């Protein structure tokens, strides 16, 4: 078998395969034998038609069967011989075969491009490291969330006020105020004074009672406002519990005093921001390397990645019609970025012979189990090989980033959480 490889790009390959008849004749005889079993001719018992008659009457059909049976065999053999691993289904053309002659074809496909890593030291990578400074307001906001989670919900009969939850059916209206059939959303909670239910919407909802109707305007994804009729089913109000030692012991049985409780909350907030800092730093490390190292992503890999994303979106929105084209368009930059990092990461692993010892994997899984709320369920979770592989992949990611970290110039930046809250308020106001 003669094999010729044409490298059309960093990821496109064309195989030109030519197999001489001498290597085909035995397989062709086997195809004739299979064809004989299904051939039916008057005067001959099934499976007893002589070869000469089969060849005379059915040669084109036998040739077609042979090509169908043999193509994959020789294609796979060529891939193995040349150590090629396609990432998509080959586009086959120029397929030629006749009895007694060579069998030839061309196969066009894509492979993962080989990433050539430049010396990391010469890349002059620069990355920022954020150090977050929390304050007492963070603690108070966290306590407020805990109070809300433990709030007592009561039905309100004397009219809704800001902060109340309105359980209602929403009916979409056209520009003239007429009901649009089939555009009704039932039993949705609207929080007065929050998100889009501020301003005029808030005024329209304040004071409503069960059985009342009101009008609100809700913007679509393009910002265009549409009118909805709100049919009120019920009004609910959260009554937050007061902070006391009894409440503290209720929500955190291991804590004796309010002071100790607040200290624990502060520590948890600091740890959360530390994780946020690490995650952002690691993301910037990989982004900095992606920017410096030129990588071409095979379109088929991007398409496959987007198909998986689309599948996940469809599973999460079973009752909603989604725009597949728009989803793929929105996620394409994410797909390309993640695939580029996958290819660069693979090159780093190979260049530095990185590996995750089994002992490290077991130690990490045991660490996770020790912090699990339900250890038995967690142990069951990690019996599944794919879940163990995810942990192993996370450990490998840290090893790869540790290699990159050695060649990065880091600029430390202090960020006060008060500044983050101010920015979030400005964005919320701009959205409103």
Per-run averaged pLDDT (10 residues), the chain, 432 residues: 93 95 91 86 79 88 91 93 93 92 94 90 91 95 93 91 93 88 89 90 93 90 85 92 91 90 95 95 94 91 92 80 86 94 95 95 94 90 94 95 93 94 75 51
* pLDDT for residue 195: 84
Indicate the pTM of the whole model: 0.75
Number of helices (H), then strands (E), belonging to the chain: the values are: 12, 11
Assign 3-state DSSP to the chain and report helix, strand, coil percentages, each to 5.
50, 20, 25
* pLDDT for residue 430: 57
- Sort strands 103-110 and 91-96 into parallel, antiparallel or unpaired: antiparallel
Q: Alpha carbon of 151 to those of 162, 237, 238, 244, 379: distances in Å?
A: 16, 9, 6, 14, 34
How is residue 416 written in tokens? Answer: 């006060």
Q: Are 85 and 13 in contact (CB under 8 A)?
A: no
**For residue 158, how many other CB atoms are within 10 A of its CB?**
8
End-to-end CA distance of the chain: 69
Extract the runs of DSSP E, i.e. beta strands, from 59-201.
91-96, 103-110, 125-133, 152-155, 165-173, 179-191
Nearest to 133 by CA among 420, 424, 422, 351: 420
**For residue 163, how many other CB atoms are within 10 A of its CB?**
11
Residue with tokens 């209602």: 168
How far apart, in whole angstroms, are the C-alpha atoms of residue 256 and residue 243?
13
Name the phi and psi angles at 157, rounded to 5. -115, -10
Reduced to 3 states (helix: H, G, I; strand: E, B; else coil), residue 3 is strand
How far apart, in whole angstroms, are the C-alpha atoms of residue 360 and residue 378?
18
Max Cα-Cα span within the chain: 101
Name the phi and psi angles at 224, rounded to 5. -80, 130
Question: By CB neighbour count within 10 A (0-12 exposed, 13-18 middle, 19+ buried), where does 32 fall?
Answer: buried
The DSSP H or E segment spanning 219 is strand 213-219
Q: Are 157 and 210 in contact (CB under 8 A)?
A: yes
* pLDDT for residue 181: 85
* pLDDT for residue 414: 95
Cα four-point dihedral sign 50, 53, 55, 61: negative
Structural domains in the chain? Answer: 2-110 (3.30.70.1050), 120-134+246-294+352-431 (no CATH), 152-239 (3.10.50.40)
Reduced to 3 states (helix: H, G, I; strand: E, B; else coil), residue 330 is helix
Q: Are 99 and 59 in contact (CB under 8 A)?
A: yes
Nearest to 296 by CA among 329, 328, 344, 235: 344
* pLDDT for residue 127: 94
- Residue 12, strand partner residues: 110
How far apart, in whole angstroms, are the C-alpha atoms of residue 299 and residue 305?
10
Nearest to 109 by CA among 129, 130, 92, 131: 92
Rg (CA), the chain: 33
């Amino acid at each position: 078998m003669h094999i010729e490889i044409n490298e059309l790009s960093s990821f496109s390959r064309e195989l030109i395969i030519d197999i001489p008849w001498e290597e085909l004749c035995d397989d062709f005889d086997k195809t004739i034998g299979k064809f004989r079993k299904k051939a039916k001719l008057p005067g001959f018992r099934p499976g007893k038609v002589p070869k000469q008659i089969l060849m005379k009457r059915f040669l084109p059909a036998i040739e077609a069967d042979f090509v169908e049976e043999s193509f994959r065999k020789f294609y796979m053999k060529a891939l193995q011989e040349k150590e090629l691993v396609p990432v998509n289904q080959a586009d086959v053309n120029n397929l030629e075969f006749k009895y007694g002659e060579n069998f030839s074809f061309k196969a066009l496909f894509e492979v993962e491009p080989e990433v050539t890593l430049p010396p990391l030291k010469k890349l002059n990578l620069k990355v920022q490291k954020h150090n977050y400074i929390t304050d007492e307001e963070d603690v108070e906001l966290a306590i407020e969330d805990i109070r809300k989670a433990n709030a007592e919900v009561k039905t309100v009969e004397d009219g809704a006020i800001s902060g109340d939850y309105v359980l209602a059916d929403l009916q979409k209206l056209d520009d003239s105020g007429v009901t649009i059939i089939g555009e009704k959303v039932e039993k949705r909670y609207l929080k007065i004074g929050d998100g889009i239910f501020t301003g005029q919407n808030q005024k329209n909802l304040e004071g409503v009672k069960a059985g009342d109707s009101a009008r609100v305007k809700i913007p679509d994804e393009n910002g265009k406002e549409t009118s909805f009729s709100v049919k009120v089913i019920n009004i609910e109000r959260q009554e937050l519990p007061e902070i006391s030692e009894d409440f503290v012991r209720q929500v955190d049985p291991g804590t004796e005093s309010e002071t100790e409780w607040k200290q624990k909350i502060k520590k948890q907030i600091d740890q959360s921001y530390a994780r946020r800092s690490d995650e952002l730093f690691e993301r910037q490390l990989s982004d900095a390397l992606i920017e410096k190292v030129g990588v071409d992503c095979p379109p088929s890999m991007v398409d496959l990645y987007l198909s998986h994303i689309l599948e996940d979106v469809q599973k999460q929105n079973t009752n909603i019609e989604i725009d597949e084209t728009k989803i793929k368009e929105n996620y394409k930059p994410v797909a390309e970025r993640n695939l580029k990092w996958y290819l660069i990461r693979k090159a780093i692993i190979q260049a530095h012979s990185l590996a995750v010892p089994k002992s490290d994997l077991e130690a990490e899984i045991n660490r996770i189990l020790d912090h699990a709320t339900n250890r038995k369920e967690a142990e069951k979770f990690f019996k599944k090989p794919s879940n163990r592989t995810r942990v192993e992949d996370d450990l490998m990611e840290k090893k790869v980033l540790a290699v990159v970290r050695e060649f990065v110039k880091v600029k430390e930046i202090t960020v006060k959480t008060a500044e983050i809250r101010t920015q979030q308020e400005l964005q919320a106001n701009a959205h409103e």
